[in-house]
Amino acid sequence: MAKYLLLKHYRGAPAPVNDVPMDQWAPEEISAHVQYMRDFAARLESTGEFVDTQALSPEGTFVRYDGEGRPPVTDGPFAETKDLIAGWMVVDVESYERAIELAGELSAAPGAGGKPVHEWLEVRPFYTQPPTVTE
């Protein structure tokens, strides 16, 4: 089994087919979208392929180590909103092909008008072991 991150972007990928921003969806459209995601996760739990899923808000803070004392905190610079991560799902599957298959299904979550969003998802494998540094 290998773990993959199915990464959802606010708009960091090519435009989805149903490209109406979520803040313009009707409440029942948002509920249907969230229910699709819950049902999808429940199905993967039953097959043992589900690991985790989280949605993220667009707010954030940059922090860095800057020597002794309190680290500097700033409200920017930030990537453009289109580049922010909206959320993710982690799956543990038998193959890359299965991760691609699941990302395709997740892309079909309903959006505006109850029609599938057809959004692009980024599929990224987890390292199975730490990378080796060679000289």
> Where in the sequence is the domain holding 76, given as residue range(s)?
2-125
Compute the average pLDDT of residues 3-17.
79
Considering the domain boundaries, does residue 109 fall inside one?
yes
CATH number at residue 119: 3.30.70.1060
Considering the domain boundaries, does residue 94 fall inside one?
yes
Total number of domains in the chain: 1
Considering the domain boundaries, does residue 131 fall inside one?
no
Residue 132: pLDDT band by 50, 70, 90 thresholds? confident
Considering the domain boundaries, does residue 83 fall inside one?
yes
pTM for the structure as a whole:
0.78
Tokens of 18: 């149903």
3-state helix, strand, coil in the chain (%, to 5): 30, 25, 45
Query: pLDDT tens digit string along 34-56?
Result: 999 999 999 999 999 999 999 88
Which is more confident, 43 or 8? Answer: 43
